[in-house]
Amino acid sequence: MYYGMIKKYDVADGPGVRVSLFVSGCRHLCEGCFNAQTRDFKYGEVYTAEVEQSLIDAMAPDYISGFTFLGGEPMEPENRPFVFSLAKKLRDKYPEKTIWLYSGYTYETDILEWAKTDEVVRNLLPLLDVIVDGEFHIKEKSLMLKFRGSSNQRLIDVKRSLEEGKTVLCDEDNLR
């Protein structure tokens, strides 16, 4: 896997101060994408064990609220094993911190369907706190939305959704 960027002090992609990994590779090709260069699966730097360890170490300070996966597209089949591996290590080491994942895929029709046959996706989901799903639609762009770019995108409470067997949206006033 390649990655386009790492932010060790991100305040735009989830609540609080976060560490964020922008993976490379995306098949959505959304018009107006804010990070179009990461569509290329070989854009940026190679993701290595040293890079992964630096991300884990960057999570240590108390002021870091959590971790965010973005892209590119973290849920592309080529990226899933790396995303799962890092999410598992982060959850094990920092159980009190949140893990967010942005995906242009839709939770019910794509991600949950993959979980039925893809063990990596099935094991990844319980590690996540929030999935921001849906492609970016430039015609639905709004600067008034919290942590997303267009009104079709949703903030999904993954733990509650899995527990209740239905999609549960986050309470935007109480995000962590």
Q: Give the pLDDT score at 175.
A: 78
- Spatial contact of 23 and 83, defined as CB atoms under 8 Å apart: yes
Predicted pLDDT of residue 37 = 86
pLDDT at position 66? 98
Lowest mean pLDDT among 34-38, 52-56, 136-140, 147-151: 34-38
Q: Judge whether residue 100 has pLDDT over 80.
A: yes
pLDDT at 172: 83
Q: Which domain holds residue 44?
A: 2-174
- What is the predicted pLDDT for the residue at 32? 80
Contacts of 119 (CB under 8 A, 6+ apart): none
Q: What is the pTM of this model?
A: 0.95
Q: Which residues pair with 111 in a beta bridge?
A: none
- Is the per-residue pLDDT at 98 higher than 90? yes
CB-CB contact of 118 with 71 (8 Å): no
Environment class of residue 110 by beta-carbon count within 10 Å: exposed (0-12), middle (13-18) or buried (19+)?
middle
Whole-angstrom distance, CA of residue 143 vs CA of residue 125? 28
Total domain count, the chain? 1
Asked whether residue 173 carries a pLDDT value surpassing 90, the answer given is no
What's the Cα-to-Cα distance from 17 to each of 59, 62, 102, 132, 172, rounded to whole Å? 10, 10, 16, 17, 17
pLDDT at 34 > cutoff 80: no
**Are the CB atoms for 21 and 55 separated by under 8 Å?**
yes
The CATH number given to whatever domain includes residue 107 is 3.20.20.70
